[in-house]
Structure 1
């Protein structure tokens, strides 16, 4: 297990762009970042989760040539931005520097959006990766949260696999994806999601027992639950109250959602450690890297990243001193920090941009080593 000193983080803050460039493999040069949106319509609609959409609305970051100008952008609802965004070129042509690029599927945290990880996706795109992140139906800030979207976590892995299907079939991007170089990266519940893509199996009953025990901690009561807006609200339901689709989903919670196309996963502040047991990772044979902040009290480190690492001794683990859970969201605009202190403020001495630079550097290095150019 590795622990990064505050001095290292401070140096990264001063040279984030250089860190990303230095992390690239020999065939990768800094590129500009393009962005586009796709709406994928998988065979199985997603609105049964109580979500408003049947589709997978997916943001895609990708490399474009340095000659293509980028436009500064902010992230949030129209007219109500929350986060600083990376400058990007909307719908620009894919870079011609190489004939093919590795593809990463990205999974956001509970109640978040793919755009809330723009800091990471843009850094990876600038190093030659196509990054596709969907807004998980029923569990995204882009639409009202629903109970099924919030609680049926394993279904998110099916979203990610169908996003891979969509990108590979896309006439602009698909022909330029190296299908032997596909990985996954996720944050929080998205970290759990990419572990599922690697072959991890959920023990739902173990998690429910933990959350009704005296040992239950913050992971059992995520603050985003207060935003559940469908008719069930936040009140507990009995199994008899559940829809047939929900009961069927719970019955397959322990199934394997391994996607054999995914060759490596990078999980940031992974959640739901207590939903895994000693058999959960028996089928995980691909490289896994775990990274979290030492000050994370939202996904407490003892019951989440450290528990997962203890069950997966071959995984690489890195802890960032001072960083909390929401340090790994985009950097907030100055005028919203006070209003959204819970997700915008970090502990004393923590530089969110520096932590982002460090995490992006580690992700680029990890994927350069595990998805090497051929």
Structure 2
């Protein structure tokens, strides 16, 4: 997040820093009150981007940045994004893409000081189609205006809001680490974790994988499902796993196999409206964007899969007596995190969606997706499944679509997992505050320091890497995060599905400290109050917003 802010801060000074005179924007202009109008030539900026040289014109601005920041900025300018023009076109013409570009267009204005939405979209598509590919340099070359006007005042407001939030987040993470340390010192006096079985290692039970294709004809949803079934005589408790946007049932294979080795049956499904296959079709121009109905369909997908498994339990000799349908848990990541929270009793919060989405002025990227739910008819949707007894949500998105009144309907044991460097589902708004809204005392907040939105996902393959993620957004080596989820999921579901209290010590702060590995340092807390968060935030809005754009002044 801090590196992201450095990029953003410098980007406000010299966004899209290069151009070829005559082919695109030749100057970047911005008004910085009370000092007046400033302007930078594209030629001066291009020299810096290509050669690293700072001439007399640029030196006035460059002198206000550190060498490290200038190096990072130049690296960003030279970065090539391997994205096809069809993908760019599909995204920028989708409701979500248009919302993102219109927000960006408030910062990057045209010559006449209008929202730069159309110019940015055109430049993105043309750059992606160019043989040199989509780069920041090429983007400005294709910008259909002689100059690009930077809304510097609003940009500074955004940077300041994000900077304040990062500082407040650091204070909150420090508070959680302090609580973990304090409670761990007490626990360590009674628990010797070195003498307990290592839940990070595979269990001893063999398992078998079976694949199904369940077809919900009523909703026209074809649901691929992989079932990992332990080879044991007694019925196994069942865990269902829901993936995130543009992902698939292979994203958590490592976790499914691990749970199966400990005696859990695991059903991993794909959501056809938002899985990797749907996004591949969408980016190829063969399908439309994910629909708002996906917020309803995803929980219904899980319900349908459970119904199908129960029916096969009665008719399929290979499944009869193999699954205990009285002991079902659910795991979800990102959009899948929302999915399992809704299945656990979370209610769609149309009042909160109206506040956050009409219009959407937040700086929280996930709210752009959550606001799609505002397109649904405002009514009570029966999404909860009473068969599910415990839920584990990794990097869930929920602050607007569920909000406080939606989340406090979840009465089940719940674990929320958060990464401090997650810029797509920001931890304070999407996991830490929501944790305080959960009413059940059997709740756990797991915070992985320096983890990103992708730290819990298995390494992508060539087949399922539909949205290539830049290396800088992947974060540190993900192996420790995998080990944390393996151990904590076994402990959480053994404790709260099977009532095996000997697993509860693994859910305590002392265990987090015992298995923690830098730089992905692990913390666990079982209690945190809204008052503590407010004190740590010191007045900073956990969901910062930017003011509505002011009316455009007349051009003389």
TM-score strictly above 0.5: yes
The separation in 1 between residues aligned to 2:499 and 2:403, in whole angstroms, is 35
Aligned to 1:184: 330
SS at match of 1:264: strand
Cα separation, 2, equivalents of 1:343 and 1:317: 27
- C-alpha change, 1:279 and 1:139, in structure 2 (3 Å) is same
Equivalent residues in 2 for 1:71-110 (5 A)? 95=231, 97-110=232-245
Q: Distance in 1 between matches of 2:379 and 2:199?
A: 40
Q: Counterparts of 1:150 and 1:135 in 2: how far apart (Å)? A: 17
Change (3 A) 1:38 1:291: same
Instruction: Quote how far apart the aligned CAs of 1:275 are.
Output: 1.5
Corresponding residue number in structure 2 for 1:56: 223
Paired residues of 2:411 and 2:438 also in contact (CA < 8 A): no
How far apart are the structure 1 equivalents of 2:290 and 2:451? 30
Match of residue 154, structure 1, among 288, 291, 296? 296
Change (3 A) 1:41 1:151: closer
Q: Whose Rg is larger?
A: 2
| Pair 1:39-2:247 in alignment | no
The alpha carbon displacement at 1:141 in A equals: 0.3
TM-score normalised by the chain length of structure 2: 0.48
SS of the counterpart of 1:154?
helix
Within the candidate set 453, 459, 463, 1:331 is matched to 459
Q: RMSD across aligned C-alpha pairs, in angstroms?
A: 3.2
Unaligned runs of 5+ in 1: 6-16, 23-28, 47-53, 64-94, 226-235, 240-246
Aligned equivalents of 1:252, 1:34: Cα separation in 2: 43
Give CA deviations for 1:87-110 in whole Å, capped at 9, x if unaligned: xxxxxxxx1x33210111111001
Tell whether the 8 Å contact from 1:110 to 1:150 is kept in structure 2 after alignment.
no
Map of 1:20 onto structure 2: 200
Residue 254 to residue 119, structure 1, CA distance change in 2 (3 Å): farther
Query: Paired residue for 1:219, among 346, 359, 366?
Result: 366
Q: The residue matched to 2:406 in structure 1 has which SS?
A: coil
Gaps of 5+ in 2: 1-174, 182-196, 283-287, 501-556
**Which structure carries more relative contact order (alpha carbon 8 Å, separation 6+)?**
1
Query: For the Cα contact (< 8 Å) 1:135–1:142, is it kept in 2?
Result: no
Q: Separation in 2 of the partners of 1:281 and 1:221?
A: 19
> Which residue of 2 is the match for residue 168 of structure 1?
310
Count of residues in correspondence between the two structures:
293
> Could you tell me how far apart the structure 1 residues matched to 2:305 and 2:493 are?
19
Residues 122-131 or 35-44, more deviating = 35-44
Gap change, CA 1:373 and 1:308, over 3 Å in 2: closer
Which residue does 1:84 correspond to in 2? Answer: none
Using structure 1 for the length normalisation, give the TM-score: 0.69
In 1, Cα distance between equivalents of 2:408 and 2:348: 12
C-alpha distance in 2, partners of 1:141/1:269? 18
1:1-374 pair list within 5 angstroms: 3=177, 18-21=198-201, 29-46=203-220, 54-63=221-230, 95=231, 97-143=232-278, 144-145=281-282, 146-149=288-291, 152-170=294-312, 171=316, 172-204=318-350, 206-207=352-353, 209-211=355-357, 212-221=359-368, 250-251=376-377, 254-313=380-439, 314=441, 315-332=443-460, 340-342=468-470, 346-347=474-475, 350-372=476-498
For 1:343 and 1:59, the matched residues in 2 are separated by: 29
| Secondary structure of residue in 1 paired with 2:397 | coil
Aligned-partner Cα distance in 2 for 1:107–1:183: 11
**What SS is found at the alignment partner of 1:328?**
coil
- How far off its partner does 1:271 sit? 1.0
Q: Check the 8 A contact 1:20/1:364 in 2, yes or no.
A: no
Question: 1:13 aligns to what?
Answer: none
- In structure 2, what is the Cα distance between the partners aligned to 1:98 and 1:32? 12
Corresponding residue SS for 1:41: strand
